[in-house]
Structure 1
């Protein structure tokens, strides 16, 4: 049973990125807006630290009198609030609950408290362990009443004397600043830091009369958008609001580069929602009402509508440090953490990496640098199909009967792909055992594969038995990947080229002008091929929400190598027929996984969540 927690804001202070992500996934009523939170949860143990965190997040409070907070009547109000049906976690079941949605549900709730409590993290973890929401009395570090911002007063008439006094004071201040007073002293901020000494007045959503008229005629929000799981929505490759989504995606990328994991998740949820919205957005209020968006995204849309762009996205594009981080991040084999490490070493371009750090790179990273420009080229659909057909032909040359599905962006309908992903399977389990190495060798001998970046044989090493969840640590260790299928991640180059046209007189070998491509060959046993095709086809947020849905709604763990029960860790077969017969083909197996999970089937072109 899902526990009915109050609305929680999670402090990132003193939490590692992995611990932070795990907690976000566990909190069913998580919000990223501290202003609507009832509980601020974190590794905070002193009132002074609690007050500092609230100030840092610009939440103004006044401490609740201890006698009032501990009175029987107050405790009764606390218990009543925890039992409020309107805020049950079943209604707000999301690891990125919409701020706008939470605010709407708070409005009109008679039991909504004007206070906020800073609570020690063990209150939440011990509540989860106990299976019930425990009393906060022993965990509260600070309790304060939220102080509303002072409204702006109407301007008063200014007399000539008042104006003269203002000008006189301004002149005096200017003189003091020019003499180097403390107010004139400035310090350069570190990149990525924000000066919060003078809080910026929050922007307000403004509406013209015509926009107000539009709002009264807004189309109803589709029923599927009321869910927090993007795996339950149709999300097309070219949505009506694609231009705005591109701006949000640029901001999300910048958040990725600086390590803002909370921001990345929040923007991913907003992007997935806007992408699934079937109408062209007309007003900011239309955005604010969408789950996962709220006022922040609405204000960005208002700016986009007024100017045709989003200032934050433009600033990110012009930031010199972000430009360098993006350069490094686009090296195959380099993630955002390594990109920041390269920057901190003083490197600013690929030449710096080659000159000062080549020997410190892994072999995969060296290949990523060597073919940086070529890996950045997009692959047209015709070439994706040609490469995939070659892989299938070599597999069938080893043993006939292999079937293949081209997955990734190609299957979602993209006109061009960044790489080529294929899933191979065979109805006979013996055929997929140890196949991946033999396919790679065959393709290498034919001149198609120039480098093997990674070769994983975990599935064959355990005899292709579906791995149980929390089973043998050998197969569940950190860093093993998001699935345990056999796979080869390789560099591909078409060996056919016109030697006369490239080698002068044709007497010499010349240089193959065909670009190097990235190709992933995934091998799945037939009994889990549906999960493999589903996982490797769907967009990133779709996959994230599918795993979250399986965890919270079904008590299951999903990845591309199969489905397991979170109760006893056993493999759950959703792909066989009622009589135990195997699926007739890989796409039918995929449909059966959707049905077995209680999800409406979404064709690949409706899984473009980004």
Structure 2
């Protein structure tokens, strides 16, 4: 049953990491711009907290006392969403939405209302700096009205003003190609997403907008942009009109507006302004240093540092060893690694592994496997059919490569998987803080430099330093490891969501466990007779098959 919800903004506070995106996917009228919302929904119970949440998002209000009403006229939107007063916003407990779903009708908000206020224009004050203005707009962007579902009604959102389309544009909009069936599917792991998408130039601009959100530590915004980027990347046609954009899941009014802006100017205003603003330029510079995240970039800036020389002169003793290495080799680590060099590094690693124990297999994963002409780093997964060989082998691997002078610096090394008996990470229940993803397999993150060069031409090694990740997986779950390290970020995020929501499983690069029932391990990679896969790529294909997913070659997992 389609429910006529008003436009809803979801407060992210107090939700678990996996809980929030699942709830977002159930809200057909979701907006990421609080100024558009009639209902602000969240885990909030006190009026003071509700006012604080609104104020922190630059939405100023004047409290409106509830008047006695009945039926659907009590501001509860009990079926009549056309009579909404756009000037009033209501903060409502989460139970209003879940109870409405359970009862199959939009319930009045009176029993769930925490606060209601009339929107006020911002008061004039001190002028806002250019950089602050950029981050404010990035923070307030609406990157998509809602996730896609072929059973959901279109979201009732207030669209920003768009210039009128020309007659030719309108004619194109009337003859658009049919939307592929796979774009009606909710999870990006169910869609083919090629490396060279027709709208790749626009996607690059959206990625830069996502970085602005990242620098504000706005996880909701980052996720919203990621959803939009994945949908645009999966669309097989070059956009021909503004209205064409709105057909895609996660691409609401803001993405339409950004597309028009990009089409008319070849750039987005916020991206251009960020490039010309000192504060943003410096934050982006610091954010590119290996070992520096958004929070640390802001910390460096707040100390008065404005470039790498400032870090060296004023803060060298205060930053971590990993950050020191990131600064020291900044320019080299920014260089992309050509495919031929990626292959040479990987083959060297495999050669040294087989010198110790014959029978190792290897897959180069990451961007290389998705087909990129060059990579930011080199990711290699090693495995061996004998579990005794892979157990605690990562330390031996690093020592051998250090002795051969290929590894100049070891950044981090972990044998967490061996410490738990090379088993899939334990299932500890919903809401647990158990680790996942990249941190669950034995691995080493290192700086690599080829020690071989013509010493008659140069006294010092001229070969560039490269970032290399060496991952060791036990054979019985190596297919999960390859899947978990191959896809784009949104592909991997949605694969975990799909496993949770559709299959009742917890996917991890170390293996799969059932949610509940003791959290037992699920063997996705052996054949019907219990025989292990003969090679790593067969194991990977069996993971797709046994999860009920259509096989997607690595070149179709480029969600950005």
Q: Which residue among 453, 461, 466 is the counterpart of 2:419?
A: 461
Q: What residue number does 2:90 align with? A: 118
Contact between 2:245 and 2:251, CA under 8 Å: does it hold in 1?
Answer: yes
C-alpha deviations, 1:29-64, integer Å up to 9, x for none? Answer: 243244365453353622895499399666999958
**Contact 2:59–2:119 (CA under 8 A) maintained in structure 1:** no
Equivalent in the alignment of 1:522 = 471
Q: 1:415 to 1:117 in 2, by over 3 A?
A: same
Distance change >3 Å, CA 603–CA 112, structure 1 → 2: farther
Aligned to 2:200: 242
Moved more, 274-283 or 544-553: 544-553
- 1:559 aligned partner: 508
Aligned residue in 2 for 1:369: 327
Match of 1:574 among 507, 524, 528: 524
Deviation per CA, 1:124-173, whole angstroms, max 9, x where unpaired? 79979x999998554312357999x9xxxxxxxxxxxxxxxxxxxxxxxx
Residues 205 and 284 of structure 1 are in contact (CA less than 8 Å); yes or no, is this contact kept in structure 2?
no
- Are residues 221 and 480 of structure 1, via their aligned partners in 2, closer, same or farther at CA, if it must alter by over 3 Å? closer
Q: Does 2:113 correspond to 1:140?
A: yes
CA contact (8 A) 2:6 2:81 kept: no
1:319-362 C-alpha deviation (Å, 9 max, x unpaired) = 21111111111111111111111111111111111111111111
Q: Which runs of 5+ in 2 are unaligned?
A: 142-158
Provide the secondary structure at the position in 1 that maps to 2:402. Answer: helix
1:87-236 residue pairs with structure 2 within 5 A?
114=84, 118-121=90-93, 123=95, 137-142=110-115, 187-189=127-129, 191-193=131-133, 202-236=160-194
**1:264 aligns to what?**
222
In the aligned structure 1, how far is the partner of 2:409 from the partner of 2:325? 8
Q: Does the aligned pair in 2 maintain the 1:44–1:50 contact within 8 Å?
A: no
1:57-88 deviations in Å (ceiling 9; x for gaps)? 669999585311xx35668x96965xxxxxxx
Whole-angstrom CA distance in 2 between matches of 1:20 and 1:121? 19
Query: What is the aligned partner in structure 1 of residue 148 from structure 2?
Result: none
Report the Cα offset of residue 531 of structure 1: 0.7
What are the residue-to-residue correspondences of 1:443-458 with 2, within 5 Å? 443-458=401-416
| CA distance in 2 between partners of 1:131 and 1:466 (Å) | 39
Q: Contact 1:117/1:140 (CA < 8 Å) preserved in 2?
A: no
1:494 to 450, 465, 475: 450
Asked if the contact 1:483/1:559 (under 8 Å) is kept, the reply is no
SS of residue paired to 1:451: strand
Task: Map Cα deviations across residues 545-573 of structure 1 (whole Å, 9 max, x no partner).
Answer: 11111122222211211111122322221
**SS of corresponding position for 2:279:** helix
The answer as to whether partners of 1:257 and 1:322 remain within 8 angstroms in 2 is no
What CA distance in whole angstroms lies between the structure 1 residues aligned with 2:226 and 2:274? 17
- For 1:393, the equivalent position in structure 2 comes to 351
Match of residue 292 from structure 2: 334
Q: Please give the residue correspondences for 1:332-481 in structure 2 after superposition, counting only pairs within 5 Å.
A: 332-470=290-428
| Partners of 1:255 and 1:264 within 8 A in 2 | yes
Provide the rounded CA distance (Å) in 1 between the counterparts of 2:178 and 2:363: 37
Give the match for residue 296 of structure 1.
254
User: CA shift at 1:308, angstroms?
Assistant: 2.1
CA distance in 2, matches of 1:347, 1:314: 23
Native 8 Å contact 2:160 2:253 kept in 1 = no
Question: Aligned residue for 2:549?
Answer: 599
1:449·1:491 contact (CA, 8 Å) conserved in 2?
yes
| Structure exhibiting the larger radius of gyration computed from Cα positions | 1
TM-score, normalised via structure 1 length: 0.78
RMSD of aligned Cα (Å): 3.7
Question: Is residue 41 from structure 1 mapped to residue 42 from structure 2 by the alignment?
Answer: yes
> Over residues 449-475 of structure 1, what are the superposed CA-to-partner deviations in whole Å (9 max), with x where a residue is unaligned?
11111111011112212232118x9xx
What is the aligned partner in structure 1 of residue 558 from structure 2? 608
The answer (yes or no) to whether the contact 1:421–1:520 under 8 Å persists in 2 is yes
TM-score (norm 2): 0.84
CA gap of 1:55–1:434, structure 2 versus 1, over 3 A, is closer
Q: 1:54 & 1:363 partners in 2: Cα distance?
A: 40
- The answer on whether the counterparts of 1:494 and 1:514 sit within 8 Å (CA) in structure 2 is yes
Q: Given the alignment of the two structures, is residue 532 of structure 1 paired with residue 463 of structure 2, yes or no? A: no
**Could you tell me which residue of structure 2 aligns to residue 284 of structure 1?**
242
Please say which of residues 54-63 and 288-297 is displaced more in the overlay.
Answer: 54-63
Q: Give runs of aligned pairs for residues 303-318 of structure 1, distance below 5 A.
A: 303-318=261-276
| Structure 1 stretches lacking a partner, 5+ long | 82-109, 150-181, 504-510
Deviation at residue 480 of structure 1 after TM alignment = 7.2
1:262 to partner: Cα distance: 2.0
Q: Is the 8 A contact 2:381 2:472 kept in 1?
A: yes
